[in-house]
């Protein structure tokens, strides 16, 4: 699964990379994005637009927003058929922007916080789904989830799942509002090439979502072999 990630790139760089419009959007870079917080997502209604969404998808039929706590990730292999995700898979796909994510690698009884990013250190896009939900009080909430897939060779020693990271070409198809067929979309749900990825051991500061500073991604010495 993917339970924490970062987005520290500035808005100009993100707009240049992903080609979206962001009308007066106020976005604050984060070194420790956690579930229920707002994330930067890109949608396409004929034009790419960026907006802030709550992380943890709340289906339109849900009675309680708390269901989103259990839906920060969607299994990519089955999302197209699951009741909570199938409508969004067909009609409401998005890019969730990031420049790294965290996993906790098991080492005996310990869990070692590990920061994973692209060797190029460029921002990238998770494959996401989004929904609009209305509370009993009439509040409208847009929320999203990150699709996951089997790990590549790089991620296997760290975790048994990884987020779906799209490329420039697959981003366009994933966002295409005219594409709805699962047979076309399902092949996009693949692990990113292992050779593009890098990681480092970081401090336990990231364990708490209250900590949000550059120290969360600073490498520590004495890491695990191979990392």
Q: Give the number of other Cβ atoms within 10 Å of residue 194's Cβ.
A: 12
**What are φ and ψ of residue 204, in 5° steps?**
-75, 0
Instruction: Kindly give the pairing relationship between strand 38-44 and strand 124-134.
Output: unpaired
List residues bridging with 97 in a β-sheet. 125
3-class secondary structure, 183: helix
Show which residues are catalytic: 2, 103
Question: How many Cα neighbours within 13 Å face the side chain of 26?
Answer: 0
110 burial level (CB within 10 Å; 0-12, 13-18, 19+): exposed
Provide the 3-class DSSP secondary structure of residue 146: strand
Give dist(CA 84, CA 61) in Å, integer: 9
What gap in Å lies between CA 175 and CA 17, rounded to an integer?
15
Q: Quote the CA–CA distance of 155 and 148 in Å, as a whole number.
A: 12
> Rounded CA gap, 35 and 169, in Å?
28
């Amino acid at each position: 699964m993917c339970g924490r990630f970062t987005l520290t790139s500035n808005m100009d760089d993100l707009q240049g990379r992903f080609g979206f419009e962001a009308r007066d959007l106020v976005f604050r870079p984060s070194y420790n994005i956690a579930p229920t917080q707002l994330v930067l997502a890109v949608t396409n209604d004929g034009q790419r637009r960026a907006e802030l969404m709550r992380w943890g998808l709340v289906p339109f039929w849900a009675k309680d927003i708390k269901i989103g706590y259990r839906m920060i990730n969607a299994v990519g292999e089955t999302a197209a058929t699951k009741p909570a995700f199938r409508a969004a898979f067909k009609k409401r796909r998005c890019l969730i922007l990031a420049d790294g994510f965290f996993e906790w690698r098991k080492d005996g009884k310990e869990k070692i916080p590990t920061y994973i990013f692209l060797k190029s250190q460029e921002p990238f896009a998770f494959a996401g789904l989004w929904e609009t939900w209305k509370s009993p009080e009439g509040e409208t909430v847009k929320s999203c989830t990150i699709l996951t897939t089997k790990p590549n060779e790089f991620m296997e020693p760290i975790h048994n799942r990884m987020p779906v990271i799209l490329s420039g070409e697959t981003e366009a198809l994933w966002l295409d509002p005219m594409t709805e067929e699962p047979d076309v979309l399902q092949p996009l749900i693949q692990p990113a090439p292992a050779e593009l990825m890098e990681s480092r051991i970081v401090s336990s500061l990231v364990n708490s979502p209250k900590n949000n500073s550059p120290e969360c991604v600073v490498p520590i010495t004495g890491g695990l072999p191979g990392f």
